[in-house]
């Protein structure tokens, strides 16, 4: 995810982490913040049965799991951070 267009690479071509001043982010950069790193888990009813929906940070639905532990495991398996929404 490119949040800062001023990202740089080191002499080996690897990405160099840059600090981002959130006071100067564009609307698009703010909307993309955390999309590939954070997933929200919230309880839902699916056809009358309890489930747990997994959404990207921007609200995009990604999956539904039968229980919270499976939802958390799925998020972690994709190297994301799970956050609960009540």
- For residue 78, pLDDT beyond 70: yes
**Shared domain check, 68 and 55:** yes
Q: Domains in the chain: how many in total? A: 2
**Shared domain check, 47 and 26:** no
**Shared domain check, 6 and 44:** no
pTM for this entry: 0.62
**Shared domain check, 16 and 54:** no
- For residue 3, pLDDT beyond 60: no
Domain span at residue 1?
A: 1-33
SS (H, E, C) 14-78: CEECCCCCHHHCCHHHHHHCCCCCEEEEEEEEECCEEEEEEEECCCCEEEEECCHHHHHHHHHHC
pLDDT tens digits, one per residue of 11-65 = 666 666 667 676 787 877 766 666 678 899 999 999 999 999 999 888 889 999 9
Average pLDDT over residues 79-83: 89
pLDDT of residue 32: 67
pLDDT of residue 84: 86
């Amino acid at each position: 995810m490119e949040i800062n267009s001023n990202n740089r690479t080191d002499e080996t071509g690897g990405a160099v982490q840059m600090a981002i001043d959130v006071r100067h982010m564009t609307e698009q950069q703010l909307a993309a913040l955390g999309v590939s790193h954070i997933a929200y888990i919230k309880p839902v009813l699916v056809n009358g049965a309890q489930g747990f929906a997994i959404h990207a940070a921007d609200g995009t639905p990604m999956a539904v799991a039968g229980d919270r532990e499976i939802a958390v495991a799925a998020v972690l398996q994709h190297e994301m951070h799970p956050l609960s929404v009540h």
